[in-house]
Amino acid sequence: MSAKNKYTAQPESNKMTYILGGIAVVVIAVLVIGGVLWQNQRSTPQNEGYGSVQNADVQVSMDENGVVALGLPGAPATIDIYEDPMCPYCSELEHQSGQALAQRIDDGDVTVRYHILNFLDRLSASGDYSTRAAAASQCVAETGDAVAYSAFHATLFSPDFQPAENAGNDHSNEELAQAARDAGASDEAAQCIAGGTKVEAAAAAGEAGRQALAATGSNGTPTVVKDGQLVDALGDSDWVSKALG
Protein backbone atom coordinates (compact mmCIF):
# COMPACT_ATOMS: atom_id res chain seq x y z
CA MET A 1 0.00 0.00 0.00
CA SER A 2 1.45 3.37 -0.99
CA ALA A 3 2.14 6.10 1.56
CA LYS A 4 -0.56 8.32 0.10
CA ASN A 5 -3.20 5.75 1.09
CA LYS A 6 -2.20 5.83 4.77
CA TYR A 7 -3.66 8.29 7.19
CA THR A 8 -0.80 10.40 8.45
CA ALA A 9 -1.63 12.82 11.23
CA GLN A 10 -0.46 16.35 10.56
CA PRO A 11 1.69 18.04 13.20
CA GLU A 12 -1.13 20.47 14.01
CA SER A 13 -3.54 17.58 14.31
CA ASN A 14 -1.15 15.74 16.68
CA LYS A 15 -0.86 18.82 18.88
CA MET A 16 -4.63 19.18 19.07
CA THR A 17 -4.99 15.48 19.87
CA TYR A 18 -2.58 15.84 22.78
CA ILE A 19 -4.41 18.92 24.05
CA LEU A 20 -7.82 17.25 23.87
CA GLY A 21 -6.40 14.12 25.45
CA GLY A 22 -4.95 16.16 28.29
CA ILE A 23 -8.24 17.96 28.84
CA ALA A 24 -10.07 14.62 28.92
CA VAL A 25 -7.66 13.25 31.53
CA VAL A 26 -8.15 16.35 33.70
CA VAL A 27 -11.94 16.14 33.38
CA ILE A 28 -11.97 12.46 34.28
CA ALA A 29 -9.70 13.10 37.26
CA VAL A 30 -11.97 15.88 38.51
CA LEU A 31 -15.04 13.67 38.15
CA VAL A 32 -13.38 10.77 39.96
CA ILE A 33 -12.09 12.96 42.80
CA GLY A 34 -15.44 14.73 43.05
CA GLY A 35 -17.24 11.40 43.16
CA VAL A 36 -14.97 10.09 45.90
CA LEU A 37 -15.42 13.25 47.97
CA TRP A 38 -19.21 13.15 47.46
CA GLN A 39 -19.37 9.49 48.46
CA ASN A 40 -17.21 10.12 51.54
CA GLN A 41 -19.50 12.97 52.54
CA ARG A 42 -22.54 10.73 52.12
CA SER A 43 -20.97 7.90 54.13
CA THR A 44 -19.70 10.04 57.02
CA PRO A 45 -22.25 9.93 59.84
CA GLN A 46 -23.61 13.25 61.04
CA ASN A 47 -22.70 13.84 64.69
CA GLU A 48 -20.40 10.82 64.62
CA GLY A 49 -19.58 9.50 68.07
CA TYR A 50 -22.82 10.58 69.76
CA GLY A 51 -24.49 7.19 69.66
CA SER A 52 -28.17 6.50 70.28
CA VAL A 53 -30.56 8.29 72.66
CA GLN A 54 -29.06 8.83 76.12
CA ASN A 55 -31.53 11.08 77.94
CA ALA A 56 -33.45 9.02 80.50
CA ASP A 57 -36.31 11.52 80.33
CA VAL A 58 -37.04 10.65 76.70
CA GLN A 59 -40.25 8.65 76.40
CA VAL A 60 -41.19 5.87 74.01
CA SER A 61 -44.76 4.93 73.18
CA MET A 62 -46.56 2.85 70.60
CA ASP A 63 -49.94 3.58 69.05
CA GLU A 64 -52.61 1.12 67.92
CA ASN A 65 -51.03 0.90 64.46
CA GLY A 66 -47.64 -0.08 65.83
CA VAL A 67 -46.02 3.30 65.19
CA VAL A 68 -43.31 3.92 67.79
CA ALA A 69 -42.82 7.51 68.96
CA LEU A 70 -39.55 8.53 70.61
CA GLY A 71 -39.15 11.98 72.17
CA LEU A 72 -39.41 14.31 75.13
CA PRO A 73 -42.89 15.56 76.06
CA GLY A 74 -43.64 18.83 74.31
CA ALA A 75 -41.05 18.47 71.55
CA PRO A 76 -41.98 21.14 68.98
CA ALA A 77 -41.37 19.09 65.83
CA THR A 78 -42.37 15.64 64.63
CA ILE A 79 -40.63 13.55 61.98
CA ASP A 80 -42.08 10.33 60.57
CA ILE A 81 -39.70 7.71 59.22
CA TYR A 82 -40.94 4.78 57.16
CA GLU A 83 -38.43 1.93 56.98
CA ASP A 84 -38.10 -1.81 56.52
CA PRO A 85 -35.56 -3.86 58.51
CA MET A 86 -34.38 -5.53 55.28
CA CYS A 87 -33.94 -2.26 53.37
CA PRO A 88 -30.24 -1.40 52.77
CA TYR A 89 -31.10 2.24 52.05
CA CYS A 90 -32.78 2.41 55.46
CA SER A 91 -29.53 1.15 56.93
CA GLU A 92 -27.73 3.93 55.06
CA LEU A 93 -30.14 6.50 56.47
CA GLU A 94 -29.59 5.24 60.03
CA HIS A 95 -25.83 5.28 59.46
CA GLN A 96 -25.87 8.84 58.14
CA SER A 97 -28.48 10.46 60.35
CA GLY A 98 -29.30 8.24 63.33
CA GLN A 99 -26.85 9.89 65.71
CA ALA A 100 -27.84 13.41 64.68
CA LEU A 101 -31.49 12.54 65.27
CA ALA A 102 -30.65 10.94 68.62
CA GLN A 103 -29.10 14.14 69.92
CA ARG A 104 -32.00 16.25 68.70
CA ILE A 105 -34.37 13.83 70.46
CA ASP A 106 -32.28 14.10 73.64
CA ASP A 107 -32.31 17.89 73.37
CA GLY A 108 -36.11 17.95 73.11
CA ASP A 109 -36.17 19.34 69.58
CA VAL A 110 -38.11 16.55 67.91
CA THR A 111 -40.23 13.44 68.36
CA VAL A 112 -39.44 10.75 65.81
CA ARG A 113 -42.21 8.33 64.79
CA TYR A 114 -40.92 5.05 63.42
CA HIS A 115 -43.16 3.15 60.99
CA ILE A 116 -41.60 -0.32 60.64
CA LEU A 117 -42.84 -1.96 57.44
CA ASN A 118 -42.51 -5.54 56.24
CA PHE A 119 -42.89 -5.57 52.47
CA LEU A 120 -39.35 -6.97 52.05
CA ASP A 121 -40.15 -10.21 53.89
CA ARG A 122 -39.99 -11.92 50.50
CA LEU A 123 -36.27 -11.07 50.18
CA SER A 124 -35.34 -12.64 53.51
CA ALA A 125 -34.14 -16.20 53.93
CA SER A 126 -36.85 -17.01 56.47
CA GLY A 127 -39.56 -15.29 54.43
CA ASP A 128 -40.73 -13.22 57.40
CA TYR A 129 -37.65 -11.47 58.79
CA SER A 130 -38.99 -7.93 58.36
CA THR A 131 -42.16 -8.85 60.25
CA ARG A 132 -40.25 -10.56 63.05
CA ALA A 133 -37.82 -7.64 63.38
CA ALA A 134 -40.77 -5.24 63.50
CA ALA A 135 -42.30 -7.44 66.19
CA ALA A 136 -39.05 -7.26 68.14
CA SER A 137 -39.15 -3.48 67.86
CA GLN A 138 -42.66 -3.50 69.32
CA CYS A 139 -41.61 -5.77 72.20
CA VAL A 140 -38.87 -3.33 73.22
CA ALA A 141 -41.06 -0.25 72.75
CA GLU A 142 -43.82 -1.74 74.88
CA THR A 143 -41.53 -1.83 77.94
CA GLY A 144 -41.26 1.96 77.88
CA ASP A 145 -37.45 2.02 77.89
CA ALA A 146 -36.61 4.74 75.35
CA VAL A 147 -32.84 4.43 75.72
CA ALA A 148 -32.95 0.69 75.07
CA TYR A 149 -35.38 1.16 72.19
CA SER A 150 -33.11 3.67 70.48
CA ALA A 151 -30.07 1.42 70.88
CA PHE A 152 -31.99 -1.60 69.57
CA HIS A 153 -33.32 0.37 66.61
CA ALA A 154 -29.75 1.38 65.74
CA THR A 155 -28.72 -2.28 65.92
CA LEU A 156 -31.55 -3.45 63.66
CA PHE A 157 -30.40 -1.07 60.93
CA SER A 158 -26.68 -1.47 61.45
CA PRO A 159 -24.95 -2.88 58.34
CA ASP A 160 -23.14 -5.31 60.64
CA PHE A 161 -26.46 -6.76 61.80
CA GLN A 162 -28.93 -6.25 58.96
CA PRO A 163 -29.33 -9.37 56.79
CA ALA A 164 -28.58 -8.95 53.11
CA GLU A 165 -31.39 -9.23 50.60
CA ASN A 166 -31.69 -12.70 49.06
CA ALA A 167 -29.03 -14.05 51.43
CA GLY A 168 -28.96 -17.63 52.65
CA ASN A 169 -29.79 -16.74 56.23
CA ASP A 170 -31.11 -14.03 58.53
CA HIS A 171 -31.65 -13.75 62.28
CA SER A 172 -33.78 -16.06 64.41
CA ASN A 173 -36.09 -14.72 67.11
CA GLU A 174 -33.55 -15.86 69.69
CA GLU A 175 -30.82 -13.83 67.97
CA LEU A 176 -33.10 -10.80 67.83
CA ALA A 177 -33.81 -11.28 71.53
CA GLN A 178 -30.09 -11.36 72.32
CA ALA A 179 -29.55 -8.20 70.28
CA ALA A 180 -32.26 -6.54 72.35
CA ARG A 181 -30.56 -7.65 75.58
CA ASP A 182 -27.25 -6.30 74.30
CA ALA A 183 -29.00 -2.98 73.65
CA GLY A 184 -30.14 -2.85 77.27
CA ALA A 185 -33.69 -4.17 76.87
CA SER A 186 -35.31 -6.05 79.73
CA ASP A 187 -35.76 -9.79 80.06
CA GLU A 188 -39.46 -9.17 79.52
CA ALA A 189 -38.73 -7.67 76.10
CA ALA A 190 -36.34 -10.49 75.22
CA GLN A 191 -38.91 -13.14 76.13
CA CYS A 192 -41.53 -11.32 74.05
CA ILE A 193 -39.18 -11.39 71.06
CA ALA A 194 -38.03 -14.98 71.47
CA GLY A 195 -41.61 -16.18 71.75
CA GLY A 196 -42.79 -14.29 68.66
CA THR A 197 -45.46 -12.61 70.77
CA LYS A 198 -45.88 -9.56 68.57
CA VAL A 199 -45.54 -11.14 65.14
CA GLU A 200 -49.24 -10.97 64.25
CA ALA A 201 -49.48 -7.40 65.54
CA ALA A 202 -46.39 -6.45 63.53
CA ALA A 203 -47.89 -7.92 60.36
CA ALA A 204 -51.03 -5.83 60.86
CA ALA A 205 -48.90 -2.77 61.62
CA GLY A 206 -46.95 -3.37 58.43
CA GLU A 207 -50.13 -3.21 56.36
CA ALA A 208 -51.29 -0.07 58.16
CA GLY A 209 -47.86 1.44 57.61
CA ARG A 210 -47.98 0.65 53.92
CA GLN A 211 -51.27 2.53 53.59
CA ALA A 212 -49.91 5.47 55.57
CA LEU A 213 -46.81 5.51 53.37
CA ALA A 214 -48.94 5.63 50.22
CA ALA A 215 -50.81 8.59 51.67
CA THR A 216 -47.54 10.53 51.85
CA GLY A 217 -47.11 10.26 48.09
CA SER A 218 -44.17 7.88 48.40
CA ASN A 219 -44.04 4.13 47.81
CA GLY A 220 -40.60 3.12 49.00
CA THR A 221 -38.32 3.08 51.99
CA PRO A 222 -36.80 4.96 53.57
CA THR A 223 -39.30 7.79 53.47
CA VAL A 224 -38.95 10.77 55.80
CA VAL A 225 -41.81 13.20 56.37
CA LYS A 226 -41.89 16.42 58.38
CA ASP A 227 -45.06 18.46 58.70
CA GLY A 228 -46.63 16.56 55.81
CA GLN A 229 -43.71 17.29 53.47
CA LEU A 230 -41.38 14.66 52.06
CA VAL A 231 -37.73 15.18 52.99
CA ASP A 232 -34.87 14.15 50.68
CA ALA A 233 -33.01 12.49 53.53
CA LEU A 234 -30.65 10.37 51.43
CA GLY A 235 -29.95 13.13 48.93
CA ASP A 236 -29.01 15.71 51.55
CA SER A 237 -26.73 14.51 54.35
CA ASP A 238 -27.46 17.68 56.35
CA TRP A 239 -31.23 17.20 56.26
CA VAL A 240 -31.61 16.93 60.05
CA SER A 241 -30.20 20.39 60.68
CA LYS A 242 -32.16 21.87 57.80
CA ALA A 243 -35.43 20.27 58.90
CA LEU A 244 -35.09 21.21 62.56
CA GLY A 245 -33.14 24.45 62.34
Q: Compute how many other C-beta atoms are within 10 angstroms of the C-beta atom of residue 84.
A: 27
Higher pLDDT, 26 or 238: 238
Which pLDDT value is given to residue 169? Answer: 97
Q: Check whether 24 has a pLDDT greater than 70.
A: no
Host H or E run for residue 234 = none
Fold of 44-244: Glutaredoxin (3.40.30)
**Are 118 and 130 contacting, i.e. CB atoms less than 8 angstroms apart?**
yes
The 10s digit of each residue's pLDDT in 40-79 is: 344 689 999 999 999 999 999 999 999 999 999 999 999 9
Percent of the chain predicted with pLDDT > 70:
82
Low-confidence winner among 18-27, 52-61, 138-147, 183-192 (lowest mean pLDDT): 18-27
Could you say which DSSP state residue 177 is in? H
Check whether 223 has a pLDDT greater than 90. Answer: yes
Residues 99-113 have pLDDT tens digits of 999 999 999 999 999
Model's pTM, two decimal places? 0.83
Between CA 109 and CA 115 the distance in angstroms is 20
Work out the pLDDT band at 3, boundaries 50, 70, 90.
very low
Mean pLDDT of the chain, nearest integer: 87
DSSP 8-state symbol, 2: -
Domain range list for the chain: 3-42, 44-244
The answer, yes or no, to whether residue 25 has pLDDT greater than 50, is no
Residues 211-227, mean pLDDT to the nearest whole number: 96
